[in-house]
Structures are given as structure tokens and as C-alpha cells.
């Protein structure tokens, strides 16, 4: 048994914990990092990285032959080697893993303990046979897939993000419980790899996104023959030897849905069990550890960030929160979080990206002051040239044409949304976008087209035309 004294002890080596550890150790603070699972956490091992690799594989299978173009045919998805695709995911993870490895962080001066951490008092944690006493702590233990309490559902017999990427036998028919971003991404990836897919969602799919853009995406998914059972309540689940039988109630009627596998994508639950938070006097709820705007817990020397708190659960948010924690700890600055310009992307094909507030949220806050501008990809030359016109941009404007929110459905919308993140962060008016010079032809021009549309009536209106006519009477120079 060893007793370790340090300045900062970090519990959890996912995106959030690793970002804090890298920052503090390189600033000279003695740092201990404790993790009993895989380094890199969910994002590297069972989340962002393997999911985007699986989507890339599905997109490659789908676009082989590019059937959207006349004279070209598409290769059949039935030829997909599912097990080899899964091996490819492991290769991608292995290629990125060194960035998150024990060796790299020990090279940065971090002491890494591979064990489970539990608070035994407000200043001490136990990790296996070791005890760690620190001046300050950071909790970044992440979250687990939430498995709903449905009669008959056995958590051990369903797939989650922690197990689906290791599945090497191609499912005959994948049932997905949950129509949020994870459920819809996995639906598209598996369908393009030749799997029959049914998505069961209690409300609309992607309920946080703009309904008009979701409707366009819904049409794309249905053309891919993904069965979307929206407005469905799951009343029971029965696990059979050869699959799963789901009973749902939809439009007042009960239906039986059968499949070979069930993937649960019904949200996340903060990972707080076994941390000994009560022993440390750290308040927590079912939604996560309670923190203030500086990410301090009810014990001011203990910070928490990432999926374990009630905040947007994205890797980029965890990295942002890490910067807030580092500024508070290392520089003693009262840095506070601001989630007003948090983007999110559903990596379908086309992608659905959003930042700021939706029209519904804006109208609740500002009422009739809100203005909307929308332009379809059908009006974009690049989209027409590539025959990929399923998509649009929707811009939510407030007083003085301030940009409040933007949603984009387009190929590579996740790459396009960054401009609008900056616009919202800097409280820019739409005129700033209208004055931009963007390369032609690109799909990003759709935003400039929407801005031009907004000002067109004023620019070419009767008053402006009268001014122009009057100016023509002045002497020529």
C-alpha cells in the first residue's frame, strides 16, 4: 500500500479527464490520474471514434458506384464483409489510442493509477491498495448507456454503444430503441452495411432539432428503407432464443415487432456509483453531480465535468469544460461556462448540424421579434452539380438581425457549422455573413444566400431605387 500526496487528483481518463490532466501537468502541477477502465474513455473506445468509422464504412458501401448519377450502378451491400468492417474499427481505435495512452501521460509527468477510485473523506480517495490525498480533485467519470425499465427487458441481452461495435456477426434485423442522434446514426450505418433496421421512438426522431430539417432527413432515411416507428410506446420486450420480440403501442393499437438484435440508444446515465460521493459531501442527483458555473461541486475544492454532470454531453463540450477547470485551478481565474454557442451534429448522410436556439426556443423567449430565413439545397449550384439536394439551412434571427440559432442539413454540415458558432459566440448580425466572400461553388454558400435573401427586399425596395435614381442626377466624376 502506498500513500500518495499531490496537488491535483483526477478521477476518469476519458476526454474530459485527459484534457485536464494534460493541461495541469504541463503547467507544472503535480497530477495523479486514476482510471480503472480503458484510457480514452467512451469517445475513443465505444463512442465517437468507432461510430464515425462505422458510418464511414456504411457510406463507402452505399456510394460505391454512386447510383445518384446517370449511367452508374451501385454495388450491392450484400457483399459487405461485416466482420472485416468491425476489425477495421479496431484498427482505427488502435491508431488513435497512443494519444490517450498511459505512456503518453506519464511522459507529460502525470502519475497514472489503473484502479477504481472511491472517496473515503473529502480530501482522500482510495484506489486499490493506494490512497491519494490531494489539495484539489477533478471528477470526470463519464456516463453509461441508460437502459429503460421496460417489462421483460434484460440489460445483459441487449446491445449498447459499449457492445455493438464488437459485434462481428451481421444482424439479420436490428431493432433500435431510441431515435436520437446515436440511434439514427447507427440505423443508417447498419442499413448501408446490409442490415434490416427498425427504429422505435416514443416521439419524433431527433426531437431537439428543427422539425423542417428533420422531415427532409426522415424522407432520406425512409428511401434507404429504414423503418421508422415514431410515436411508439414500448409496453414489453421478450427475449427469445433466436432474437427479440417487442410489443409497442402506436396510434392506439398494439403491434408486435421482431428482430434478431436489440440496440438500446435511449440516453445516458452519469457514472457516479461507487465513487463515495456521500463520504466526500458531494451533492449529486439522477442527472449527475451538482456543479456551479465554474464547475465546482458542493465541495469547492472538487470540480466535475464531462458526462458526469448535467450539461451538454459532447466530447467538444468536455474539452471546453476542461479549459474552464484549468483556468480556475492553475490561474485562479473565475472562469465560467457558457453553453450559448454549443454545436451538435448528427452524422447522417446528409449531416444535420445545429448551434444556438431553435425557432421554438427563440419564440418562447422573444416572441414576434424572431425572424426566420431558410434556403434549400435545391437552390445551391454545388448541391445540384453533385445531385445531393436533400437539405437546407434555417437561420433564427432576433432584434437588429442578430443570429440566434442556425441549423444545417447538408453533406459535411458539421464542417459548415463552425462559422455560425463563431457568429453566435461573437453576437454577430446576419449582415456579417452577407458581406463575406465565399468560394464558388460550395455548399457553404447556402448561408450567404439566406443572408442575401433576408436583405433583398430592403436593398431592392422602392426607397433604395429612388435613392439610386436621385444619385444618377449628380455630376459624373
Whole-prediction pTM value? Answer: 0.94
Percent of the chain past pLDDT 70, that is, above it, reads: 97
Each residue's pLDDT tens digit, 296-328: 999 999 999 999 999 999 999 999 999 999 999
Out of 3.40.50.300, 3.40.50.150, 3.40.50.460, 3.50.50.60, select the CATH number for domain 155-266: 3.50.50.60
For the segment 73-128, what is each residue's pLDDT rounded down to a tens digit?
555 555 789 999 999 999 999 999 999 999 999 999 999 999 999 999 999 999 99
- The 3-state DSSP class for residue 455 equals helix
pLDDT in tens, 129-167: 999 999 999 999 999 999 999 999 999 999 999 999 999
Write the pLDDT tens digit of every residue in 260-280: 999 999 999 999 999 999 999
Q: What are the structural domain ranges in the chain?
A: 3-39+101-145+269-330, 155-266, 343-459
Average pLDDT over the chain, rounded to whole? 95
What is the structure's pLDDT at 439? Answer: 96
Q: How many other CB atoms sit within 10 Å of the CB of residue 140?
A: 31
Measured CA to CA, the distance from residue 458 to residue 465 in angstroms comes to: 10
| Residue 1 scores a pLDDT above 80 | no
Examine domains 155-266 and 343-459 and report if their fold is the same.
no
Q: Can you tell me whether residue 255 is helix, strand or coil? A: strand
CATH architecture entry for 343-459: 2-Layer Sandwich (3.30)
Digit-coded pLDDT (tens) for 225-274: 999 999 999 999 999 999 999 999 999 999 999 999 999 999 999 999 99
Residue 65: pLDDT over 50: no
Helix axes of 82-96 and 48-63: crossing angle, nearest 10 degrees? 140
pLDDT tens profile 2-45: 999 999 999 999 999 999 999 999 999 999 999 999 999 999 99
> What is the third-level CATH fold of 3-39+101-145+269-330?
FAD/NAD(P)-binding domain (3.50.50)
Quick one: DSSP state of residue 97? G
- Quick one: what percent of the chain has pLDDT higher than 90? 92
pLDDT tens column, 450-471: 999 999 888 888 898 899 989 8
Cα angle vertex 83, ends 80, 87, to 5°? 115
3-state class percentages of the chain: helix first, strand second, coil last, to nearest 5: 40, 25, 35
* Closest listed residue to residue 349, CA positions, set 205, 195, 185: 185
Taking the C-alpha atoms of residue 137 and residue 140, their distance in angstroms, rounded to an integer, is 10
Amino acid at each position: 500500500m502506498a500513500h500518495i500526496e499531490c496537488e491535483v487528483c483526477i478521477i476518469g481518463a476519458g476526454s474530459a479527464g485527459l484534457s485536464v490532466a494534460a493541461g495541469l501537468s504541463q503547467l507544472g502541477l503535480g497530477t495523479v490520474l486514476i482510471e480503472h477502465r480503458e484510457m480514452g474513455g467512451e469517445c475513443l473506445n465505444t463512442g465517437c471514434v468507432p461510430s464515425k468509422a462505422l458510418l464511414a464504412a456504411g457510406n463507402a458501401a452505399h456510394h460505391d458506384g454512386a447510383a445518384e448519377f446517370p449511367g452508374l450502378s451501385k454495388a450491392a451491400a450484400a457483399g459487405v464483409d461485416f466482420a472485416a468492417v468491425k476489425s477495421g474499427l479496431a484498427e482505427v481505435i488502435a491508431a488513435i489510442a497512443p494519444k490517450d495512452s498511459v505512456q503518453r501521460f506519464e511522459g507529460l509527468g502525470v502519475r497514472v493509477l489503473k484502479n477504481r477510485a472511491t472517496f473515503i473523506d473529502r480530501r482522500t480517495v482510495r484506489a486499490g491498495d493506494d490512497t491519494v490525498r490531494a489539495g484539489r480533485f477533478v471528477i470526470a467519470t463519464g456516463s453509461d448507456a441508460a437502459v429503460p425499465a421496460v417489462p421483460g427487458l434484460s440489460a445483459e441481452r441487449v446491445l449498447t454503444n459499449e457492445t455493438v461495435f464488437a459485434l462481428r456477426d451481421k444482424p439479420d434485423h436490428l431493432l433500435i430503441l431510441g431515435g436520437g442522434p446515436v440511434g439514427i446514426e447507427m440505423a443508417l450505418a447498419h442499413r448501408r452495411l446490409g442490415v434490416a433496421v427498425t427504429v422505435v421512438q416514443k416521439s419524433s426522431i431527433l426531437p431537439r432539432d428543427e422539425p423542417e430539417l428533420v422531415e427532409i432527413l426522415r424522407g432520406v432515411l425512409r428511401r434507404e428503407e429504414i423503418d421508422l416507428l415514431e410515436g411508439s410506446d414500448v409496453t414489453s420486450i421478450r427475449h427469445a432464443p433466436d432474437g427479440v420480440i417487442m410489443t409497442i403501442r402506436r396510434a392506439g393499437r398494439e403491434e408486435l415487432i421482431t428482430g434478431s438484435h436489440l440496440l438500446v440508444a435511449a440516453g445516458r446515465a452519469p457514472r457516479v456509483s461507487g465513487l463515495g460521493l456521500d463520504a466526500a459531501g458531494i451533492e449529486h442527483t439522477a442527472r449527475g453531480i451538482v456543479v456551479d458555473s465554474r464547475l465546482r461541486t458542493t465541495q469547492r475544492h472538487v470540480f466535475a465535468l464531462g458526462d458526469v454532470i448535467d450539461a451538454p454531453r459532447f466530447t467538444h463540450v468536455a474539452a471546453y469544460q476542461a479549459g474552464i477547470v484549468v483556468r480556475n485551478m492553475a490561474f485562479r481565474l473565475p472562469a465560467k461556462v457558457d453553453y450559448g454557442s454549443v454545436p451538435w451534429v448528427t452524422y447522417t448522410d446528409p449531416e444535420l448540424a445545429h448551434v444556438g436556439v431553435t425557432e421554438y426556443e427563440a419564440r418562447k423567449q422573444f416572441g414576434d421579434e424572431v425572424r426566420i430565413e431558410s434556403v434549400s439545397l435545391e437552390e445551391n449550384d454545388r448541391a445540384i452539380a453533385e445531385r445531393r439536394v436533400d437539405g437546407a439551412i434555417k437561420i433564427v434571427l432576433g432584434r437588429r438581425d442578430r443570429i440566434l440559432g442556425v441549423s444545417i442539413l447538408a453533406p459535411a454540415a458539421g464542417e459548415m457549422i463552425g462559422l455560425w458558432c463563431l457568429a453566435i459566440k461573437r453576437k454577430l448580425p446576419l449582415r456579417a455573413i452577407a458581406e463575406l466572400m465565399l468560394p464558388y461553388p460550395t455548399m457553404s454558400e447556402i448561408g450567404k444566400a439566406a443572408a442575401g435573401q433576408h436583405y433583398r427586399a430592403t436593398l431592392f425596395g422602392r426607397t433604395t431605387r429612388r435613392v439610386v435614381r436621385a444619385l444618377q442626377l449628380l455630376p459624373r466624376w
